């Protein structure tokens, strides 16, 4: 076992442990990841002496064997060049695609990481059977339909390229370079995460004389998981002294706009002694927090706790005027853990995001859990606003309408409007219940969007071939 130093931006050195797993059969294997800093050269086995452990995590991954299948028939397969599981955005997309394709009788191959440690046991069993049955089929990937995770900083497809190539893209910027447009043109079709994202890509392409084929693929939720155990806490008789719980989710960074919510809660908590903030803001990529204090609404960024391997967000909130005794950090909850919190504890969820390339999965999970949800009216959120918030028969979610354009496609919500919205729902328990019920009825399931994608594929898989070197396609 060797410790291999990997240089990254910032102070310290990250050490990656590489372990060769010798398996006669494929299966789920425990994996440990450690982040270290400091130390000096000269340790044994490639490690540095005096290293200090910064964080440590464990997960379960699927390790395939080296057996190669030789029976062909690759054109019937869909390869997912997308992470599966893991409790983050791309992992949720990959998991939903894998399960739904299988439920519709399609054969799949997974070319990316499968994070089994946070998957439900039923999901892990389904994928395990699929992985074991399709060992080695990556050999024929050039004949398959391949779905790729694509972003402005991840256009490359890691060498996996199929007969038909579908790029799924969530982008939070309006600035694109011509070289990037040329790379995107190699995909047979791009599936943007929202109508806003689609318009941005099409406009950028036209401005450079690059024609892209773009459609919309909106994130959904598993309606069999979210809200099924909703206790309708808002409908219970509220005991004197019971807290009013505000939820917010999404990794802490300027784009998610937590600084706007903090500024609003400073005012709101000062007016109501029973208001508690419950949040899931822990960030796997702490460097993305840089700049969250540039708005002037908060000061500094949270410090990293070497012992817990997490950001000290509650302490940081205290320095920014939020009562630490009325702030609860959920850490990095699994989907089932988050569902339990939303179903039994939360009164209102607030998302003051400055930009979303997609529809914001955590916001949709809140809506799907029957929670009254407040959304910033911009970018990818607008797909949810138009379908859920503004539906006939009354609102299924509430909109922050006062938006100021900040450039590069980002928008700023008004702090005073956030406070007003919170005041509205604070004093209207029955109203919160109505909004929550309507929202859960209107939010859509993953299957609805994925079935549209399957319908699109039927017209593309009939023999379209592309000459990739020139980036042009012919039917």
DSSP, residue by residue, 109-145: EE-S-EEGGGS-HHHHHHHHHHHHHTTTGGGGGGGSE
**What are the residue ranges of CATH 3.40.50.2000 in the chain?**
233-444
Nearest CA to 150 out of 104, 109, 203, 201 is that of 201
Model confidence at 18, in pLDDT bands (50, 70, 90)?
very low
Q: How confident is the model over 354-360, as a mean pLDDT?
A: 96
Find the range with the poorest average confidence among 196-200, 235-239, 409-413, 422-426.
Answer: 235-239
CA distances from 155 to 34, 75, 375 (A): 28, 24, 29
CA atoms within 13 A on the CB side of 313: 25
The model's pTM: 0.81
Q: Are 221 and 441 in contact (CB under 8 A)?
A: no
Read off φ and ψ for residue 270, nearest 5 degrees.
-65, -25
Q: What is the pLDDT of residues 62-82, one digit of tens each?
A: 655 443 344 456 677 899 999
* Res 60: pLDDT: 66
Q: How confident is the model over 49-58, as a mean pLDDT?
A: 59
Nearest CA to 225 out of 396, 395, 440 is that of 440
Provide CB contacts within 8 A for 359, sequence distance 6+: 193, 194, 218, 219, 380, 381, 383, 384
The class level of CATH for 74-216 reads: alpha beta
- Tell me: pLDDT of 428 over 60: yes
* Geometric angle at alpha carbon 169, from 463 and 387, rounded to 5°: 105
* Res 9: pLDDT: 33
Looking at domain 233-444, its CATH architecture is 3-Layer(aba) Sandwich (3.40)
Q: How confident is the model over 291-302, as a mean pLDDT?
A: 95
Going by their DSSP bridges, the two strands 472-474 and 465-467 should be labelled as antiparallel
């Amino acid at each position: 076992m060797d410790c291999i130093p990997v240089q990254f931006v910032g102070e310290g050195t990250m050490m990656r442990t590489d372990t060769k797993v010798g398996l006669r059969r494929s299966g789920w294997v425990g994996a440990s990841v450690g982040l270290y800093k400091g130390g000096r050269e000269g340790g044994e086995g490639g490690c540095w002496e005096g290293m200090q452990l910064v964080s440590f995590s464990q997960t379960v991954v699927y390790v395939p064997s080296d057996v190669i299948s030789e029976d062909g028939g690759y054109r019937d397969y869909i390869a997912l060049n997308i992470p599966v599981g893991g409790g983050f955005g791309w992992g949720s997309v990959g998991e939903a695609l894998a399960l739904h394709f299988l439920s519709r009788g399609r054969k799949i191959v997974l070319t990316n990481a499968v994070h089994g440690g946070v998957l439900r046991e039923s999901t892990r069993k389904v994928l395990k059977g699929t992985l074991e049955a399709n060992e080695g089929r990556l050999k024929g990937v050039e004949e398959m339909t391949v779905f790729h995770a694509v972003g402005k900083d991840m256009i490359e497809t890691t060498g996996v390229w199929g007969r038909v190539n579908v790029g799924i893209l969530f982008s939070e910027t309006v600035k694109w370079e011509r070289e990037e447009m040329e790379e995107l043109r190699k995909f047979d079709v791009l599936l943007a995460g929202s109508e806003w994202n689609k318009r941005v890509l099409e406009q950028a392409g036209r401005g450079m004389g690059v024609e892209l084929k773009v459609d919309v693929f909106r994130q959904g939720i598993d309606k069999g998981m979210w809200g099924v155990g909703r206790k309708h806490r808002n409908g219970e008789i509220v005991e004197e002294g019971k807290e009013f719980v505000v939820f917010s989710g999404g990794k802490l960074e300027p784009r998610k706009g937590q600084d706007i919510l903090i500024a609003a809660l400073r005012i709101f908590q000062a007016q109501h002694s029973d208001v508690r903030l419950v949040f899931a803001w822990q960030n796997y990529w702490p460097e993305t927090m840089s700049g969250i204090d540039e708005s002037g609404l908060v000061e500094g960024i949270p410090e990293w706790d070497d012992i817990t391997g997490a950001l000290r967000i509650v302490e940081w909130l205290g320095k920014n005027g939020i009562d630490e005794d009325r702030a609860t950090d959920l850490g990095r909850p699994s989907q089932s853990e988050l569902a339990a919190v939303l179903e039994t504890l939360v009164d209102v969820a607030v998302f003051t995001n400055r930009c979303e390339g997609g529809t914001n999965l955590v916001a949709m999970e809140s809506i799907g859990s029957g929670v009254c949800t407040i959304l910033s009216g911009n970018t990818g959120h607008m797909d949810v606003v138009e379908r859920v918030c503004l539906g006939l028969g009354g609102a299924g979610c509430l909109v922050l309408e006062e938006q100021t354009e900040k450039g590069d496609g980002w928008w700023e919500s008004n702090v005073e409007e956030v406070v007003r919205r919170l005041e509205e729902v604070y004093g209207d328990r029955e109203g919160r219940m109505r909004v929550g019920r309507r929202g859960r009825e209107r939010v859509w399931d993953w299957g609805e969007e994925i079935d549209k994608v399957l319908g699109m594929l039927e017209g593309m898989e009939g023999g379209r071939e592309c000459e990739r070197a020139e980036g042009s396609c012919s039917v």
